Structure 1
Amino acid sequence: MVNWVFQKLIGTYHERECRRLWPVVKRINQLEPQIQALSDEQLRAKTDEFRRRIQEGLKGEHFLDPSKPEWYDLNADERLAKRRQRRKIQQAVLDEILPEAFAVAREAAKRTVKMRHFDVQLLGGMILHEGKIAEMATGEGKTLVATLAAYLNALTGRGVHIVTVNDYLARRDARWMGPIYHLLGLSIGVIQGVDPVERRPGEESLSFIYDPTVTTGSDRFLHLRPVTRPEAYRADIT
């Protein structure tokens, strides 16, 4: 009874999350006409602009580069504190650029794969960005939703990993969503498991980079250029 009254008064957790994030959805939609007016080159340039804004937000003595000698003057607790502070500031900068970055990713999707993120998918992208689980039914566009959070977080240069359940989906999703990231200037890697059922004679590589100029070879690997595993891991999104 108490739970029922509580939910009636303030809503379920799902409803509260939607109310919390809805103003951001409205802001993304308000930006759509402005982003639509950009050329492909201007849309691509937004990625560089976002990266500069992130780097500007992380400048200062509080954000020592681990490759610098000064980093090793710190003890373990100090290093941990620096990392936590960096993540906190970085998260704040990402949250600040999120509306525009999501609007850019949506426009890229419209131009390349002819799909437009709906409001519920924008909500899903924000939930993923916050490190939470977004439960979506079959057909609600989980693959498309992932492009929003993946694009935003790839801007940090730290790399983003998208995990699928098998090698087929890893290849399919990279080829399907790859044009979105490619238009925005990001690289997409594919890493497959050692599956003897999936591998066929003559197919030696298990790692690829999305490359729309690759049009030869097996249809299973169309637009996928074989690379070493480390190269695939170094992609912006893998």
Structure 2
Amino acid sequence: MLSFIKKFLGTKSEKDIREITPILNKIKEIYPETEKLSNDALRARTDGFRKRIAEAVSGKEQQIAGIREKIEAGPEMDMDEKERLYEEIDQLEKEAYQITQEVLNEILPEAFAVMKETARRFKENEVIEVTATQNDR
């Protein structure tokens, strides 16, 4: 009986492979473009990923900052009102987290291609030179 179910539904590893195959195909499509990038351009892709995530959650972050300012500006605020505002912050943080996860899933193939190419370059070259950025200071 168990073998029949495995044949019909597949094993865990087969399910996992079916799930990640579309992502792998996207990585294979993107990777040749990534190989052509200069070291600086490859590095800039990572900054681009950070910016995409920051832009996606900036609205929620601004709302959270506004609510926190409101709480700090009103020390005599009613406890029930403060509790409601903190619950609103919690909800906004959950939404921001969800947005972050969605963006991470969107950039996953490109990010993996960048990581794969970076690893290949480190394997083949003892030293990799790039232009210093603000993150290096």
For 2:118, give the aligned amino acid: A
Change over 3 Å in CA distance of 1:107–1:71 after alignment to 2 = farther
Aligned-pair CA distance for 1:78: 2.4
Match of 1:34 in 2: 33
Contact 1:57/1:89 (<8 A) preserved: yes
Match of 1:88 in 2: 98
Q: Could you report, residue by residue, the CA deviation over 1:27-46 in whole angstroms, capped at 9, with x for unpaired residues?
A: 10111110000000100111
Amino acid in structure 1 at the alignment position of 2:20: L
User: When you count strand as a share of all residues, which structure comes out higher?
Assistant: 1
Q: 1:148-187 counterparts in 2 under 5 A?
A: none
Note the residue ranges of structure 2 that are not aligned, 5 or more in a row.
Answer: 73-81
Q: Which runs of 5+ in 1 are unaligned?
A: 115-178, 188-238
Cα offset for 1:13? 1.9
Q: Larger Cα Rg: Structure 1 or Structure 2? A: 2
- Contact 1:31 1:100 survives alignment (8 Å): yes
Counterpart amino acid of residue 8 in structure 2:
L
Cα RMSD over matched residues? 2.9
Quick one: which amino acid aligns to residue 104 of structure 1? Answer: V
Q: What is the TM-score when the length of structure 2 is the normalising length? A: 0.73
Is the alpha carbon distance of 1:83 and 1:41 closer, same or farther for their aligned partners in structure 2, counting shifts above 3 Å?
A: same
Q: From the superposition, tell whether residues 48 and 7 of structure 1 become closer, same or farther in structure 2 (CA, over 3 Å).
A: same
Aligned length: 119
Distance apart, 1:80 and its partner CA: 2.4
Match of 2:45 in 1: 46
Question: Normalised by the size of structure 1, how large is the TM-score?
Answer: 0.44
Q: Percent identity?
A: 34
Identify the range of structure 1 (88-97 vs 3-12) with the bigger mean alpha-carbon deviation: 3-12
